[in-house]
Amino acid sequence: MQANRLKAFARKLTDGLTLRGAGCILLGAAICTFGIHNIHQRTGITEGGVIGLMLLLEHWLGASPAVLTPVLDLSCYLLAFRYLGWRFIRTSVFSTFCVSMFYKVWELFPPMLPDLSDWPLLASVLGAGFVGLGVGLIVRQGGSSGGDDALALTIARVTRWRLSRAYLFTDLVVLGLSLTYLPAGRIVFSLITVTLSSWIIDRVQGGRPCRAG
The CA–CA distances, whole Å, from 192 to 6, 44, 113, 137 equal 41, 14, 20, 21
Residue 155 exposed, middle or buried by CB count within 10 Å (0-12, 13-18, 19+) = buried
In tens, the pLDDT along 120-164 reads 899 999 989 998 999 999 999 888 888 888 999 999 999 999 888
For the entire predicted model, the pTM comes to 0.79
In tens, the pLDDT along 26-63 reads 999 999 889 888 888 788 676 678 777 877 887 788 87
pLDDT for the residue 7:
59
Tell me the domain boundaries of the chain: 18-108+116-204
Nearest to 94, CA basis, from 191, 11, 174, 179: 11
Please, what is the Cα angle at 145 between 119 and 72, to 5 degrees?
Answer: 95
Nearest to 136, CA basis, from 193, 205, 197: 205
- Given a contact cutoff of 8 angstroms between Cβ atoms, the answer to whether 191 and 185 are in contact is no
Q: What CA–CA distance (Å, rounded) separates 157 from 176?
A: 24
Nearest to 42, CA basis, from 126, 105, 100: 126
Residue 161 exposed, middle or buried by CB count within 10 Å (0-12, 13-18, 19+) = middle
In tens, the pLDDT along 65-105 reads 667 777 888 889 888 988 888 888 888 888 888 888 888 88
